[in-house]
């Protein structure tokens, strides 16, 4: 159960990180609210998962999932440049996250 919550929390990290960028310094209401709700839910899920998972592993997986999804969203919807090297490095992060799960 902790792993499922951790993955969902990592996905929510991408939600709040994206909303933070779209809030334009907290000057736009809807993205600011999404940021706040996403942040609280993401941190709450991380805290729950870390009750049973090692802190280092849980945090690395949470950050990895959030980072990959945030960059992927930005490349698809916000015009962030895509390159073969960027995709390779993102795949490397995914591989590392999977490796941490497998080793656990």
Q: Which is it for the CA torsion 59, 62, 65, 66, positive or negative?
A: negative
Output the average pLDDT for the chain: 97
* Token pair for 28: 């736009």
Are 98 and 51 within 8 A, CB to CB?
no
* Rounded mean pLDDT, 29-42: 98
Q: How would you classify residue 81: left for phi > 0, otherwise alpha for psi between -120 and 50, otherwise beta?
A: beta
The string of pLDDT tens digits covering residues 51-88 is 999 999 999 999 999 999 999 999 999 999 999 999 99
Q: Is the pTM of this model over 0.85?
A: yes
pLDDT of residue 68: 98
Predicted confidence band of residue 103 (pLDDT cuts 50, 70, 90): confident
What are the boundaries of each domain within the chain?
A: 2-103
d(CA 80, CA 2) in angstroms, rounded, equals 33
pLDDT of residue 104: 76
């Amino acid at each position: 159960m902790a792993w499922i919550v951790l993955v969902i929390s990592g996905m929510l990290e991408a939600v709040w990180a994206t909303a933070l960028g779209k809030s334009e310094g907290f000057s736009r209401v809807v993205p600011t609210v999404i940021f706040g709700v996403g942040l609280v839910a993401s941190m709450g899920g991380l805290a729950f998962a870390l009750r049973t998972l090692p802190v280092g592993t849980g945090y690395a997986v949470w950050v990895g999932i959030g980072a990959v999804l945030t960059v992927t969203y930005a490349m698809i919807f916000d015009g962030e440049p895509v390159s073969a090297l960027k995709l390779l490095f993102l795949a490397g992060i995914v591989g590392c996250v999977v490796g941490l799960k497998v080793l656990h």
